[in-house]
Chain A
Amino acid sequence: MTRSSYLRLSPKNRTFTGFSQAWLGSDHLLIVNSSRLVERYQRFAFADIQAIVVAEGGRRAIWQAAVASVCFAFSMWVQFTFGKRFFAAIALAALLLALLDIARGPRCRCILQTAVSGERLYPISRMRTARSFLAIITPAIETVQGSVPVEDLAAQAAMTPQIALAESTAQPPAIERPLGYTPEILFGLLMLDSVLVFAALRSTFTVAFGLLPTMYFAEFLIGILALVQSRTRSATSVAVLIAAFLCVIIDPFALSGAAAWPGVVAVFQQPSPDAAAWNNQITASSTTVFLAVGWRAAMAITGLAVCHFERTAKGE
């Protein structure tokens, strides 16, 4: 075995990719972050540790129990055997996790404070661990730093000159995050979809049934992504994005979807839908086709132009 001067302070806090653990050294606290194949070490000298703050965190057992309940409900509702067993297994796993979570005690968030940093100690994730951790590390730190009553510490800290950054002090330049390309992807997709929706509404139910749902899904997904990432965008870009997203939501219910859907439903409602029924032409009015194609093309051109001008203004 490797000779080591370290004593274990906490159990392993495991994640999907590795674990982290706290160890007690002769004059420092060692935090090990392991990715299984490589271990990374962080050391905090006892002389530098100013404070350790532990805050009790939220409980996840409620969410795990909720997931278990939903899965149990699904397992009752689903008709086929595989589905019943699948949802029952998930519900059981969620229930076991909830019980395990309760048994391990309340969670916590521990921060170790030095003069220049506040470091989150991930291995200290439960109150029980935090108590035993503090019980061992406090005497070790006090051996190096000595022990002073808290009232005296507060009074001394108030008198000690602090190196604080005045508001007038020159600050380092702010790092601006580059603009993402998700809005451009959305508007490019809308341009492409304007051609596809024209093809779908001027062809058979088979083509429309294959094409339209895929289009709607892609537009919705990228629209959500673009809206989520739009915080760094200008107000004009955000306004165009919101308008485009509203059109994406309305279109399947009012324009292209409304034109194609009744025909598809009629084909499904036939006792034995044959190939001929699927090959029927969609009877969408010219106005519907014009509007479904038009809003996509208009939004795409406007959006791409706005994005281009925004990038030019930012000098990207």
Chain B
Amino acid sequence: MTLQGILCSACLRPLPAELWSGVEGQRCPDCSAPVLVKVFPAFAQSKIGSLPQPLAADLEASCFYHAQNRASTPCDECGRFLCSLCTLEIAGRTLCPICFEANLRGRKIQDLESSRTMHDSIALALAIFPAFLIWPILVTAPLTLFWIFRHWNSPRSILPRTRVRFYFAGLIALSEIGFIVVVIAAIFLVRR
């Protein structure tokens, strides 16, 4: 898909160049919504990618994956020669598709991660919500503690985040276990 021009975010129709000044108070000619547009030099640059160069002579280094293409750069991880078709620039490094895939699977490069599980939030939810029904805490309180120990060092959010949810979850789970022990002891004592 190639977008044609700068589009109004309200009506998705192209905005004339007179409105690209980045000044507030201008209105879209189609929907009359007040618009604020910031256009950057990338808009004017060519959208055509660079094509790989064919080998001119037998002595030239060729791409590992495309023997007919001239190599332009080596992979920073495996060292294989790559043509411009196989080159991937990720987080300041040049990778071939195979190393990119390996990094993606191994979660080695943070900039490639598209999602993370918030184990501290899961532990907190596990500690709080079942408590409303009381009896499930028999299972969920120990499970919460297990979850905290199991995921204490698991990668957390890539954004600033403390372990405070883990501490709260642990505190609540311990209180629930204490409550269970007191109830069992009370029943035991009453029966005696």
Contacts and interface: CB of A to CB of B under 8 A. Distances in A.
A5 B17 CA distance: 36
Nearest to B91: A27
B37 A51 contact: yes
A138 B38 contact: yes
B41 A148 contact: yes
A36 B118 contact: yes
B171 interface: no
Contact of B3 (A30, A49, A118, A142): A118
B104 to A, nearest CB: 13
Contacts of B9: 53-55, 109-111, 120
A130 B7 CA distance: 17
Interface in A19-65: 23, 28, 30, 32, 34, 36-43, 47-57
Interface residues of A, number: 60
A56 B34 contact: yes
B159 A145 contact: no
A229 B122 CA distance: 39
Interface in B1-18: 1-10, 12, 15, 17
Given A110-B9, A113-B3, A130 B116 contact: no
Interface string B42-73: 11111110000000000000000000000000
Nearest to B164: A1
Contacts of B175: none
Contacts of A152: 44
Of A52, A138, A164, most B-chain CB atoms within 10 Å: A52
B8 A53 contact: yes
A130 to B, nearest CB: 7
A41 B33 CA distance: 30
A118 B4 CA distance: 11
Interface string A183-196: 00000000000000
A148 B111 CA distance: 29
Contact of A150 (B33, B39, B47, B157): B39
Interface in A141-200: 141-142, 145-148, 150-154, 156-157, 160-165
Interface in A241-288: none
Given A50-B39, A156-B44, A164 B2 contact: yes
Interface stretch (B20-28, B80-88, B133-141): B20-28
B161 interface: yes
A34 B118 CA distance: 9
A79 interface: no
Contacts of A145: 40-42
Nearest to A36: B121
A28 to B, nearest CB: 8
B178 to A, nearest CB: 27
Interface in A98-115: 109-111, 113-115
B40 A51 contact: yes
Nearest to A21: B159
A86 interface: no
Contacts of A115: 2-3, 42, 47
A39 B20 contact: no
B63 to A, nearest CB: 24
A228 interface: no
B161 A1 contact: yes
Given A116-B3, A161-B46, A53 B115 contact: no
B186 to A, nearest CB: 36
Contact of A37 (B37, B41, B114, B118): B118
A134 interface: yes
Nearest to B156: A2
Contacts of A110: 9
A6 interface: yes
A2 B42 contact: no
A4 interface: yes
B121 A48 contact: no
A238 B5 CA distance: 39
19 contacts: A2-B156, A2-B157, A2-B158, A30-B158, A38-B115, A50-B42, A51-B40, A53-B8, A53-B38, A55-B9, A55-B35, A114-B42, A117-B3, A142-B40, A148-B41, A150-B17, A153-B20, A161-B46, A161-B48
**Which 9 interchain pairs have the tightest Cβ spacing?**
A156-B44, A154-B17, A55-B10, A111-B9, A50-B43, A56-B34, A54-B36, A55-B9, A55-B33
Interface of A: 1-2, 4, 6, 23, 28, 30, 32, 34, 36-43, 47-57, 109-111, 113-118, 120, 130, 134, 138, 141-142, 145-148, 150-154, 156-157, 160-165
